[in-house]
Chain A
Amino acid sequence: MERWLFLTTDGLSKGAVYAAFALAIVLIWRATRIVNFAQGAMAVAAVYVAYSVTAATGSYWLGFAAAVLSGLVLGAVVERVVMRFVEHAPPLNAVIVALGLVLLVQAVLGSIYGNEYRPVGTPVSRTGLSVGGVSLLSAYDLLVFGAVGLVVAGLALLFTRTPVGLRMRASAFAPEVSRLLGVNVAGMLTLGWALASAVGALAGLLVIPTELGLHPNAMDLVFVSSFTAAVVGGLDSPVGAVVGGLAVGLVLSYVAGYLSADVTPLAALVLLLAVLLVRPGGLFATTATRRV
């Protein structure tokens, strides 16, 4: 029981970050039908900004704000400068451009900061609060849950309760009609990328201190887990991203705890297959899936 409780909290705190990152992937997929493989590299770039700002000012929160802001800017820039040109090309081209961006961003970061892992501090303690001798959630875990919860709630409000959110959804689902109705579709796409990139930056800020440290490749594995989460949940569903993220976090933790860390990648594959063979569009699929 104690073991189960420990592995559950461990899995949930990891899963919350996967959820946030999966949400970023889903946002872009919904807006542009592109799986943004560069999401991880872009998030790392934002966290490097945080690192530099924090190092210069000594304030974690200034760095935090700078990272989210640079995430916004980076997302907009990538959409305007690069992705705009492949949005109407075959979808695979966007995937390849994103992969090219990954290499480019990682190489630039590596050239500036070197290929060493850099420690990133946390604003609150990561030491778990002991309950009956078992170490459970830390203050940092609570911060992660709070931040991810706020983002999910904020996005839900944005998309369902505000005119801008409505316009963004309209642009994504019916670009031609929206354009005729006077919606600035191109602007909405840029905004979508910017928002997603900022959410990705936030996820990077939250997860990197809990792993090996800041490195150009620091988000590679997080991206793989989060992409798995987004697919499990259904790429069109923000709720699915959150549920998928938590599920992936829990499965990885249980498998490493009860079986062996060696088989965690196999566990992710089994989870994906189990979900997709029953529901080919993910757990929260809304659109009609292929019938065979």
Chain B
Amino acid sequence: MRVLPGNTLLRHLLIAAAGGAALWALTYQLELYRDYQLATAAAYLCATAGLTVLTGLNGQLSLGHGALMAVGAYTVALSQDKWGILSLSLALGVLAALAAGLVIGLAAARLRGPYLAGVTLAVAVAVPAVTTTWSSVFNSDQGLPVALDPPPGTLALEQWQAWLAVGCALGVLVLLANLTRSRFGRDFRAVRDDETAARLAGIDVARTQVLAFVVSAAGAGLGGGLLAVLTQSVSPGAYALSLSLYLLMAVVVGGLGSLAGAVWGALLLVFLPDLTHQLTVGLALSPGAAQRVEGNLPLAVFGLTLVIVMIAAPGGLQGLLRKLVPFRTITPLPKSEERPVSDAQRT
């Protein structure tokens, strides 16, 4: 039962175009704040999709993707200040993150699970120190403004930002979806599942791992660059260790098995804090208790959600959804791809 064209690229492009059109129409319906949230989710999606490829497909754990986003964001800020051409700036942001990803990836190819986590964690922690040490360029804690031309015509800034971010995110999804279907994607999975077997099959394990890191870093760089454009500013505090940890939570809770999990993850990052906030605002508390509980309650709900989802649905939201809605009736799944990601990170 084939409802979509057989050519992979064409099929992905069609789906992306349909999704893009729906979202484009949606931006007219939404309040500006919701447009902004949509844009933020799309920016995060670039990063979570990249992280899903790295962690879910290739089995490498990164606690430093926030730092890679910062690389993209700072590059965009500096380039916008110098040349003011947005497309150029975003491209440079991706390139810079790509280069940073190559460096980290080369080191990462030698390291396993928690050791790689340790190094990438240290990278995430080092971001503020870098901006302070070279403060004439990065302006330490205060960061840099991102100069933007006003959007064309009478378009609201937030709506234009949503178009930009959603467009980029769909582009990233199409590219990554194709990559995962290509020889590289198979190599990624082979290395994740069994390094020795992969090596015997003639796959250059180290090169595959570096490649996965570079691809993933490019996604993070674009996501960071977009965030810089959305917020019109960059500062180290916005790309702290907590961002890296939240990105990881997002992809795992979303479901590491597929790019759809990355979509869930990005949506969670934006809407879960909002939702928990709404939830707690509804509670009427005395001033004294309110001061202590306000702010803490959303955190508690967020934390509890993570714990419960992980215990109740180890495959994340997408895994849960797959159980409830059997997609495989639409397109049958080859047996070899049935293998879950559960062995990622096994040492």
Residue on A nearest B56 in the bound complex, by CB: A92
In contact, B300 and A107 (Cβ under 8 angstroms): yes
Interface residues of B in 216-240 (CB under 8 A from A): none
Interface residues of A in 78-106 (CB under 8 A from B): 82, 85-86, 89-93, 95-97, 99-106
A265 — which chain B residues lie within 8 A by C-beta? 122, 125-126, 128-129
Residue on B nearest A224 in the bound complex, by CB: B125
How far is A227 from B299 in the complex, measured between Cα atoms in Å?
A: 24
- B278 close to chain A: CB less than 8 A: no
Interface residues of A in 111-129 (CB under 8 A from B): 111-112, 114-115
How far is A108 from B295 in the complex, measured between Cα atoms in Å?
A: 11
- B175 close to chain A: CB less than 8 A: no
A99 — which chain B residues lie within 8 A by C-beta? 245, 248-249, 303, 306
- A110 close to chain B: CB less than 8 A: yes
How far is A133 from B256 in the complex, measured between Cα atoms in Å?
A: 59
Please choose the segment from A146-154, A196-204, A273-281 that sits at the chain B interface, where 4 or more of its residues have CB less than 8 A away: A273-281
A112 — which chain B residues lie within 8 A by C-beta? 292
- A167 close to chain B: CB less than 8 A: no
In contact, B292 and A110 (Cβ under 8 angstroms): yes
- B275 close to chain A: CB less than 8 A: no
User: Taking A231-B118, A266-B130, A292-B110 as contacts, is the C-beta distance between A96 and B314 under 8 angstroms?
Assistant: no
User: Taking A96-B306, A276-B111, A280-B115 as contacts, is the C-beta distance between A89 and B129 under 8 angstroms?
Assistant: no
- B8 close to chain A: CB less than 8 A: no
Residue on B nearest A90 in the bound complex, by CB: B342
Residue on B nearest A289 in the bound complex, by CB: B112
Neighbour of B119 across the interface among A95, A105, A263, A276, CB < 8 A = A276
- A170 close to chain B: CB less than 8 A: no
- B311 close to chain A: CB less than 8 A: yes
Query: Which one of A97, A100, A276 has the greatest number of beta carbons of chain B within 10 Å?
Result: A100
Neighbour of A273 across the interface among B107, B112, B205, B343, CB < 8 A = B107
The count of chain A contact residues (Cβ–Cβ below 8 Å) is 53
How far is A292 from B204 in the complex, measured between Cα atoms in Å?
A: 9
How far is A96 from B256 in the complex, measured between Cα atoms in Å?
A: 12
Query: Which one of B111, B122, B292, B300 has the greatest number of beta carbons of chain A within 10 Å?
Result: B122
B297 — which chain A residues lie within 8 A by C-beta? 107, 111
In contact, A85 and B125 (Cβ under 8 angstroms): no
B305 — which chain A residues lie within 8 A by C-beta? 100
How far is A272 from B117 in the complex, measured between Cα atoms in Å?
A: 11
Neighbour of A292 across the interface among B130, B206, B303, B341, CB < 8 A = B206
A289 — which chain B residues lie within 8 A by C-beta? 112
A228 — which chain B residues lie within 8 A by C-beta? 118, 121-122
B340 — which chain A residues lie within 8 A by C-beta? 90
A111 — which chain B residues lie within 8 A by C-beta? 292-293, 296-297, 300
In contact, A90 and B132 (Cβ under 8 angstroms): no
Neighbour of A277 across the interface among B107, B123, B253, B341, CB < 8 A = B107
For A180-219 the 0/1 string (1 means CB < 8 A from B) is: 0000000000000000000000000000000000000000
- B307 close to chain A: CB less than 8 A: yes
Interface residues of A in 239-292 (CB under 8 A from B): 262-266, 268-269, 272-273, 276-277, 280-282, 289-290, 292
In contact, A272 and B118 (Cβ under 8 angstroms): yes
- B113 close to chain A: CB less than 8 A: yes
A29 — which chain B residues lie within 8 A by C-beta? 114
In contact, A263 and B310 (Cβ under 8 angstroms): no
- A19 close to chain B: CB less than 8 A: no
How far is A90 from B311 in the complex, measured between Cα atoms in Å?
A: 11
Neighbour of A90 across the interface among B121, B126, B129, B344, CB < 8 A = B344
How far is A81 from B213 in the complex, measured between Cα atoms in Å?
A: 36
How far is A230 from B121 in the complex, measured between Cα atoms in Å?
A: 13
In contact, A277 and B121 (Cβ under 8 angstroms): no
Neighbour of B111 across the interface among A105, A230, A280, CB < 8 A = A280
Query: Can you list 11 A-B pairs with a CB-CB distance of less than 8 A?
Result: A35-B114, A90-B340, A95-B248, A99-B248, A100-B303, A231-B115, A231-B118, A266-B129, A269-B119, A276-B118, A277-B107
Q: What would 17 more interface pairs be, CB under 8 Å, given A90-B342, A91-B346, A276-B107?
A: A82-B307, A86-B314, A90-B341, A92-B345, A93-B314, A95-B61, A96-B252, A100-B310, A103-B299, A103-B303, A103-B306, A224-B241, A227-B121, A228-B121, A231-B114, A266-B129, A268-B125
